[in-house]
């Protein structure tokens, strides 16, 4: 090994060459034919659909739990909530690889200079910054909630998750509005490429045309020409990554790079042209496989046909007491003693009229068998066979009219699950039971012994366990 000290000038040249090589390697790693406005539009389209689906199903779940006074919900099909919440969680999980792919395509755009060129440019940058930040937080806390890592949240999950969904949809709407012309241009594949298979040129009046020697997809494909508008749609990364940007200024002369980022990229671009290390097809295949994998390996908690490949989701079908997963245990609810107390009774109240039923008396009432899914807001669901008296029959004993609403009270002494209001559409449904058994066995204490509510198309958190009182309201 040569240990001869370098002279000062040589040391600087050696250092400068080393930094150039490092940045050249970084540039090579960034170079990707995937960074173009067509890819940004395709990923944005998929991501937009996924977020709209999660937003819609999330609103449905939220208002089932906290309905406005005028709201009425369908009770059929009985698996409606199971389906909607399964889609909500699965679509949310699919957002993970999609948003990472989208960031990969557009992230150099976040470091462009000057940072703001116009009001519309400010709206574009502000909306995408807000959208990305809110989306990452929303997806992260949603995944943590699925795995019941509640203690990690220094804030109320439900309210935060709900509020962030509006931030995401609002910022997404603004972003789509300011990018609508670019999205429209690159929406269809046949409009996005020229006759040679290169990304089509598309210039906006306010944006100086930029010639980009974008990284070719493969050795046979020619140099590509993009526009500044293309960069604004997410292809600026190609500008930096491809390492051969030439902004056309007055008189057709190259415009000088401005700003720290512009000068840095210009310095990097002075290095020899790197070759791309990824192909567009490889990038698309990676995103597609990653999305399919996370969906296939987690959707089994919601969709039984995929239970065999449910590798990542925290709950498996058929595992737990009564062959059902448990979300909130009796110990966590603080009802270990009160639920098995010999003097337990279920009290049914309608104004001044009330009746109390022991467990034996409830079992002597006409029993009804129903098959209904139990579906959790955290994504898992499972079908089960329930047995017990109809809620309507119990309300008849206190002279309740048809079409009343009720409030169910749990043995829990505090917390958001202690009280539950149920609208008349669920109360009068023949399938709504005060369940005493599930899957041919007496309710396990973790599933609500001695009695719980089960009704069609409702969230599991609203199927009150450890019942103590049912009151007409």
pLDDT digits (tens, 9 = 90+) for 207-227: 443 333 444 444 333 333 333
Instruction: Determine contact, residues 212/239, Cβ cutoff 8 Å.
Output: yes
Q: Is the pTM of this model over 0.85?
A: no
pLDDT value of position 244: 33
**pLDDT tens by residue, the chain, 473 residues:** 444 555 556 666 666 667 666 666 666 555 566 778 899 999 999 999 999 999 999 999 999 999 999 999 999 999 999 999 989 998 998 998 999 998 888 877 777 767 788 888 888 888 888 998 999 999 889 888 887 777 777 888 889 999 999 999 999 999 899 889 989 999 998 888 888 778 887 654 444 433 334 444 443 333 333 333 333 343 333 333 333 333 344 444 444 555 666 666 666 666 555 555 567 778 888 888 888 887 877 777 777 777 777 777 667 777 889 999 888 899 999 999 999 999 999 999 999 999 999 999 999 999 999 999 999 887 788 899 999 999 999 999 999 997 899 999 999 998 888 999 999 999 999 999 999 999 999 999 999 999 999 999 999 999 999 999 999 99
């Amino acid at each position: 090994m040569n240990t001869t000290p370098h002279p000062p000038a040589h040391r600087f040249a050696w250092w400068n060459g080393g930094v150039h090589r490092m940045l050249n390697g970084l540039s090579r790693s960034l170079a990707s034919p995937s960074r173009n406005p067509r890819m940004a539009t395709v990923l944005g389209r998929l991501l937009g659909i996924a977020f709209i689906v999660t937003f819609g199903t999330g609103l449905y779940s939220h208002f089932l739990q906290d309905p406005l006074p005028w709201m009425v919900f369908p009770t059929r099909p009985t698996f409606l909530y199971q389906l909607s919440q399964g889609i909500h969680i699965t679509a949310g999980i699919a957002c993970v690889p999609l948003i990472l792919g989208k960031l990969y395509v557009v992230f150099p755009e976040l470091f462009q200079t000057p940072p703001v060129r116009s009001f519309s440019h400010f709206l574009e940058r502000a909306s995408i910054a807000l959208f990305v930040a809110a989306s990452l937080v929303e997806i992260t806390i949603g995944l943590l909630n699925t795995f019941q890592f509640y203690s990690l949240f220094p804030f109320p999950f439900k309210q935060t998750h709900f509020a962030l969904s509006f931030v995401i949809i609002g910022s997404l709407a603004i972003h789509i509005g300011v990018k609508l012309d670019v999205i429209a241009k690159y929406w269809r594949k046949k409009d996005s490429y020229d006759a040679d298979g290169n990304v089509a040129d598309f210039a906006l009046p306010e944006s100086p045309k930029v010639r980009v020697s974008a990284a070719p997809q493969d050795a046979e494909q020619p140099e590509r020409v993009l526009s500044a508008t293309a960069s604004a749609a997410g292809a600026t990364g190609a500008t930096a990554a491809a390492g051969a940007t030439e902004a056309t200024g007055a008189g057709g002369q190259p415009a000088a790079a401005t700003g720290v980022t512009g000068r840095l990229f210009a310095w990097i671009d002075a290095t020899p042209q790197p070759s791309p290390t990824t192909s567009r097809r490889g990038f698309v295949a990676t995103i597609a496989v990653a999305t399919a994998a996370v969906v296939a390996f987690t959707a089994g908690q919601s969709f039984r046909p995929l239970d065999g490949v449910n590798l990542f989701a925290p709950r498996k079908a058929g595992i737990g007491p009564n062959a059902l997963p448990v979300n909130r245990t009796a110990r966590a609810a603080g009802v270990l003693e009160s639920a098995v107390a010999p003097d337990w009774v279920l009290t049914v109240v309608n104004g001044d009229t009330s009746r109390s039923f022991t467990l034996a008396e409830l079992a002597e009432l006409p029993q009804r068998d129903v098959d209904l899914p139990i579906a959790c807001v955290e994504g898992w669901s499972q079908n089960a066979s329930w047995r017990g008296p109809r809620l309507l029959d119990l309300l008849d004993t206190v002279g309740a009219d048809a079409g009343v609403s009720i409030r169910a009270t749990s043995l829990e002494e505090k917390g958001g699950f202690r009280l539950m209001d149920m609208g008349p559409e669920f109360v009068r449904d023949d399938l709504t039971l005060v369940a005493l058994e599930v899957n041919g066995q007496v309710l396990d204490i973790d599933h609500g012994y001695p009695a719980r509510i089960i009704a069609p198309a409702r969230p599991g958190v609203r199927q009150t366990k450890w019942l103590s009182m049912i009151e007409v309201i």
